[in-house]
Structure 1
Amino acid sequence: MTAELRDKKVLVIGRGSGIARAVTLAARAAGAQLVVAGRDREKLAGAYDDPGVAAESVDLTDETSIAALAERLGAVDHVVSTASARARGLVGDLAQETLKLSFETKVIGPILLAKHFKGRIAEGGSLTLFSGSSAIKPVPGMLAVAATNGAVDVITKALAVELAPTRVNAVSPGTIDTGAYDALGEERKAALFTARSAHNPARRIGTAEDIADAVVFAMTTTFMTGVSLAVDGGEPLV
């Protein structure tokens, strides 16, 4: 049986675009009251023209900032962290500071979220984190991303045990067209998407809405916890 999101208070941490935006809009469509939080509160506030979406500031690399957000919000029903600081590159090109920022944002930050929101998440509530398919099938240039995502898969299980009965799950996307690949340039991005669409079992690239649907599923499926939910078109299978 699933629980409704109507009138539930959902905190989504991330940008005002891409997956974070899609999650916010999907939860809002399901009737939730949203709080979006990120480093640039003003920019986030400007991304939504909806009185049911409030903006807050938080920096997942700063425990004081996380603790302050928890104090300001008080009780919540669901917390979703989409934030990342990707450390792409071959091993010889990776800088220590880049690696640290990636782990601080996507691994240490969510652990601190759990620390400060523990006891504030209402009965039946959840914490949803973000992993990624590179944890299962790493490729050259994605070493640090794979390591970070693998760590998220581990802390998801550990937090599910420690925070019980609060449910803790992760969503693990594959290749998603969110603008994250725009830096490749139109031609290289199109070639990459064509190649991956031709080989993955779903025969297409994922959308932010695909991921948002999975997050809503994770929030509302009350007998699922400690799971990294693969939404990747079967990409790691081939």
Structure 2
Amino acid sequence: MTGLLHAQTVLVLGRGTGIAYATALTARDAGAKVIAAGPDEPALAAAYLGEPAISTESVDLTDDDSIGALTERLGEIDHAVFTASARIRGRLPQLERAALQRSFDSDVIGPLMVVEQLASRMNEGGSFVLFSGVAAAKISVGSLGVAVIDGAVDVLVRSLALELAPLRVNAVSPGVVDVDARGALGEHAETDYSADGSVRNPIRRIGTAADVADAVLFAMTSAFLTGQTLHIDGGEPLT
């Protein structure tokens, strides 16, 4: 097999669904050996059953011992992708400390701890790809928690890009994507958003997991790209 990631190893951290799943398959199709890791390894194994180029591992990004054990098992890798995204919705009076801390821990501190341990194991030309989100670029009432966490990811990426150079560090910032629109917008809002797509973004549709996975592939393989956040959001912040 040949491709942009031929003979490279890509670690995809997250669930075995949605964007994480699409990213793993895209990396596989580009020739990579893929390791999918997350807190529910049996679910990951079931999701990637029959995919010999994709193996699975267990890791809890809120537990340093779990992170350390994973890095010891991995050996050298070429790219690591963190697909976690904040889901702390609500106006200021609805935000709870515990929920904010959980999300910040899994989306910001957890990836930072993984990067700390994996950086010395990355092959030449390696990269890290984190996930931010459109809430950091387009401020709206009800998205305060998400915006703060996404903004923190953007700053983390720029900081790591300098400190870890010449390793590359970038972020992908999706807009509303079909695989998680119901959870992000509410039980009935996905249909409303789609119907109002001509107003909500210039592309006039909700994004897809494939749209985002293609951006992740670009971030991994673009050798002159670092410290950047790729906005894959249909131009939503323009409206």
TM exceeding 0.5: yes
Letter in 2 for 1:236: P
Alignment TM-score, normalising by the size of structure 2: 0.95
Equivalence map 1:218-237=2 (5 Å): 218-237=219-238
Q: What 5-or-longer segments of structure 2 have no aligned partner? A: none
**Offset at 1:197?**
4.1
* Preserved contact between residue 85 and residue 132 of structure 2 (Cα < 8 Å): no
Instruction: Give the corresponding residue for 2:20.
Output: 20
Distance 2:19 2:90 in 1: 23
Instruction: Give the corresponding residue for 1:34.
Output: 34
Instruction: Give the corresponding residue for 1:213.
Output: 214
Instruction: Give the corresponding residue for 1:50.
Output: 51
Letter in 1 for 2:26: A
Measured on the aligned residues, the alpha-carbon RMSD in Å equals 1.3
**Offset at 1:223?**
0.3
Give per-residue Cα distances to partners, 1:98-156, cap 9 Å, x unaligned: 00011001110111011110111110010000001110112111101000000000000
Distance 2:198 2:158 in 1: 31
Structure 1 range deviating more: 190-199 or 43-52: 190-199
Instruction: Give the corresponding residue for 1:184.
Output: 186
* Preserved contact between residue 14 and residue 20 of structure 2 (Cα < 8 Å): yes
The verdict on how the C-alpha distance between 1:226 and 1:115 changes in structure 2, with shifts beyond 3 A counting, is same
Letter in 1 for 2:166: P
User: How many corresponding residue pairs?
Assistant: 235
Give per-residue Cα distances to partners, 1:57-85, cap 9 Å, x unaligned: 01111111111111110100000000235
Identity of aligned residues (%): 52
The verdict on how the C-alpha distance between 1:112 and 1:81 changes in structure 2, with shifts beyond 3 A counting, is same
Q: What 5-or-longer segments of structure 1 have no aligned partner? A: none
**Offset at 1:47?**
0.2
Distance 1:231 1:199 in 2: 14
Give per-residue Cα distances to partners, 1:4-50, cap 9 Å, x unaligned: 20121000000000000000010001010000000010110110121
Letter in 1 for 2:44: L
**Offset at 1:196?**
3.5
Equivalence map 1:79-94=2 (5 Å): 79-94=80-95
* Preserved contact between residue 126 and residue 168 of structure 2 (Cα < 8 Å): yes
Distance 2:229 2:127 in 1: 14
Letter in 2 for 1:80: V
Letter in 2 for 1:129: L
Distance 2:70 2:206 in 1: 35
- The secondary structure found in structure 2 opposite 1:21 is helix
Alignment TM-score, normalising by the size of structure 1: 0.95
